[in-house]
Amino acid sequence: MPNIARRATLWIGVALALLGLWWIARNRGLTGTDFMMEEMQWLYRGLVLVALGTGMALLSRRMR
């Protein structure tokens, strides 16, 4: 059972980090014109998601 929890934590962490990177890219205008462009709250939310996702992925590596 712990193996399932470890894998789930890893994949959720990776998904959160990727979503955060996507939001940052949209905020910076790397994906074209968007309602998120130049809206700083999306940059901050993206940074928080990247940090949480990275933390979850690292935590999953320490789980046994």
Tens of pLDDT, residues 39-51: 899 999 999 999 9
The reported pTM is 0.86
Identify the sign of the CA torsion 23, 24, 28, 29. negative
State pLDDT tens for residues 2-58. 689 999 999 999 999 999 999 999 998 888 887 888 889 999 999 999 999 999 999
Q: Which two tokens stand for residue 12?
A: 């959720």
Please state, in angstroms and rounded to a whole number, the distance separating the CA atoms of residues 47 and 2. 29
Distance of alpha carbon 60 from alpha carbon 16, whole angstroms: 14
Q: How many Å apart are CA 26 and CA 45, to the nearest integer?
A: 12
